[in-house]
Amino acid sequence: MNSKTKLLAIAGMCFLGAVCSETASAQKKSKKTAATAAPAPTIPAPKKEGLKPFSEVITAKARTKNGLFKTYKVDDKWYFEIPDTLLNREMLVVTRLNKVPSGVSVGNQQYGGEELNDQVWQWERRGKQVFIRVPSYSVRADSTSDMYQSVKNSNLSTILASFEIKAYNKDTTGVVIDVTDFYNGDVVAIGATDALRKAYKASALDAGRSYVDTIKTFPINIEVVTSKTYKSAESPIDNSIGAVTFEFNTSMLLLPKIPVKARLTDPRVGYFGQSQTDYGTDAQKAERTAYIHRWNLVPKDTAAYMRGELVEPVKPIVIYIDPATPKKWVPYLIQGINDWQIAFHEAGFKNAIIGKEAPTAAQDPDFSVEDSRYSVVRYFASNIANAYGPHVSDPRTGQILETHIGWYHNVMNLLRNWYFVQTAAVNPAARKAKFDDKQMGELIRFVSSHEIGHTLGLPHNFGSSYAYPVDSLRSKTFTNTHGTAPSIMDYARFNYIAQPGDGVTKLHPEIGEYDKWSIKWGYTWFPGNLTAKQERAKLDVWTVAKAGNPLYYYGRQGTSLDPRLQSEDLGDNAMKASTYGIANLKRILPNIEIWTYQKGQDFSDLKELYNEVITQYGRYMGHVRANVGGMSENFKTNDQKGTVYSYLSKAKQREAIAFFNTQLFTTPVWLINNEQLNKFDNGQILNKIKAVQTNTLNLLLTPGRIARLLDNEAKNGTASAYTLPELFTDLKTSVFSANRPDAFKRNLQRSYVETLTQLMTKEMDAPAGASAEGLANYGVTPINVSLSDIRPLVRAELKSLLTLTKARALAGDSLTKAHYDDLVIRINDILFPKK
């Protein structure tokens, strides 16, 4: 599942936990604050000239609510009473969709409960006005540092909105402002974002069809619900209306006056991070610092905690299940949340995280799934096949404040497909079009646990599954004890390696050794007045002790450099694992129609799952491909021995090419089951198999991969490096193995020549503005093709192919001759272009 990866954090998918607080005494002694969090200025004595008395603005018919700010509703006007004590305090503001119209394509659709924007506000009074300022936290300096004023001067907070003061409150300790037009206005920060407008073809706000629905105030937050209508000449809903209407919820949450202590990130342990440039250090450069995202867990009983007893936190992490969730899935979602309790035991906490059903209106009339005080799994009626686990954090420290996990209804279809193609060969429970509720519930529980991991601050650990030897995943004893990977945060999915007769029954990941270790590292509470750097020194001792043990390896997402760091893979040898996986696909494919038969139904399940088999086959090719030109990445500090980056052996890379020769470049005729294809395929199977074959071949010869082959040879010599000429020879031997190639082989041969042509005529594609270092960080090794050894070596390969194709064009049937004649012409055109 993607932590939306907004990266949050989305991821996640993506896609993306905040920091434990120290003791109260430690907080009081901490004098360090961000440059933007300067002490509130002294409020001058109020001057009442020109302002109406309070009673004339807030009349007797006003509806009054007490909370963070007092709120008043007078007729159709809404007012805030802002006390002087809250001026300049930092408040986190999160805007979410409450309700949306339908009619938008799946890729553009957004759903009620999804976050649109978050930012920090400070309410500032100046004369007869109140401003909302939006501070930035990208740079900082300690308030005692010589650099503090300089940073402050170059980090001015932008004014988002201004309000006229309508009156002072009764005892002149606060001011009253009218917020009606602001919340009802076209303010992107609390309304439709550019992406939302684009999806719904919305333009300007129509104020006449917009209104503030409710404003509710609570002790530390205010919740504002608005209904806003935007003009839309091409409304995807109904053009005759000329508009689209959304309902938004904007939460304003008071941040801690004294930020909790942050914990520094470490690339050897996976956490989402909050980075800043710190000008207040004694480093002789602008120093980048980053803090992990984590919840603020502090033991209730510190003495018992220090004795090594499991202790409940002062404030546990509580996550509610959306009341809109189908009742039969609620227990499994809750189990997925509570599964993390065992990991928090490693950090010394019990009952640290709790899943609950949302209270009913009778139980808690003030509860709302949009309220920023509550964390919720939101259930979306959507045909998107996904789920994501974001979180909202304090930008000053990384402290996670709340999460609203997105759960799409159609994720069940994705789970059905994965479970079928990855386990049906050994698992009778997967051999059906519709799983029973218990089986689907367990799959939901697995995904729930994964997404909860993101909400705790954990990113994907794509290196985790590499820890287990391939053959161990065929052992019932091993898998019953260890599951399929040491971390549920990998995209390890289900056990496609186990073979019939192995007796393996535990087929999916669960909270593993790495997960427990990462929670211990991020959430263990340290007593006393330790600084973040002092804490980091203690944590370093733990981290170094785990170094070299694959169970505790963290492999980051986002790089294609290291073949261990892949999604959807299992085991420590992709070639061996994929061979087992393909053996199971060969068992599954002929039985799809039988296993999915439902009386009176069409062949849509047969078609979908047949295509899923091809997709899974393509995944195996990707797992193996990463070994060619691959490097191992093992982050270390300078007091640790060993290399950070090292190339894979020549033997390992040649093993990958040998796999392709057997499993891909030799036509996979087992994928052509005409008895089933004739019931749904309208002439696509040749192209589908061709796509897997040619895509793999093309990606084996990207400039970035070739750049690493050349670099390896330059560093380590031809004896140990797998060289580009060797790759060309191995590919040519495989791709051109048949004198009379079939249709699939002919496609491969044309693709090979076309890829070589691209290397002779085009430079490497790279995103505009991307630096070489930035590209390399994500596994895209940059190279200037025309100034490298690529073109001389490609030219030599084309000349060799020209000799081969000319000879083959002289023999064979008419189709074979035509094919090789065409290749001769193509090669001549690139070697000897016409002027």
Would you state the structure tokens that stand for residue 442, as one six-digit string?
A: 């367990």
Closest CA to 527 of 24, 28, 30: 24
Q: What's the pLDDT at 834?
A: 86
Under-70 pLDDT residues of the chain? 1-49, 103-109, 236-237, 766-770
Q: What's the pLDDT at 769?
A: 62
Structure pTM? 0.89
Q: What's the pLDDT at 767?
A: 66
Helix, strand, coil % (nearest 5) of the chain?
35, 20, 45
Strands 317-321 and 353-357: parallel
Angstrom CA distances, 333 to 355, 384, 402, 558, 708, stand at: 8, 18, 17, 28, 44
Beta bridge partners of 246: 228
Angstrom CA distances, 65 to 166, 248, 543, 619, stand at: 18, 21, 51, 57
What distance lies between CA 729 and its chain's CA centroid? 39
Cβ neighbors of 683 (< 8 A, separation 6 or more) are: none
Handedness of CA 454, 457, 460, 461 (dihedral sign): negative
Task: Give the start-to-end residue ranges of the domains of the chain.
Answer: 1-30+262-597+605-645, 41-254, 661-835
Q: What's the pLDDT at 142?
A: 76
d(CA 781, CA 783): 7
- HSE (CB half, 13 Å, CA atoms) of 43? 19
Q: For the chain, give the longest Cα–Cα distance.
A: 103
CB 635 within 8 A of CB 546: no
Would you state the structure tokens that stand for residue 291, as one six-digit string?
A: 């803090």
CB 719 within 8 A of CB 648: no
pLDDT digits over 97-143, tens only? 998 887 665 455 677 888 999 999 999 999 999 999 999 988 877 77
pLDDT digits over 706-764, tens only? 999 999 999 999 999 999 999 999 999 999 998 899 999 999 999 999 999 999 999 88
The DSSP secondary-structure symbol of 719 reads: T
Angstrom CA distances, 410 to 377, 406, 413, 646, 805, stand at: 15, 12, 5, 42, 50
Closest CA to 613 of 579, 597, 589: 589
Would you state the structure tokens that stand for residue 202, as one six-digit string?
A: 């919305």
**Which residue bears the tokens 């065929």?**
474
Which segments of 626-677 does DSSP mark as H helices, in order? 650-663, 674-677
Q: What's the pLDDT at 789?
A: 95
For 331, other C-beta atoms within 10 Å of its C-beta total 15
Q: What's the pLDDT at 378?
A: 94
CB 358 within 8 A of CB 373: no
**Which residue bears the tokens 């000879």?**
807
Q: What's the pLDDT at 39?
A: 45
d(CA 569, CA 620): 8
φ, ψ dihedrals at 67, nearest 5°: 180, -145
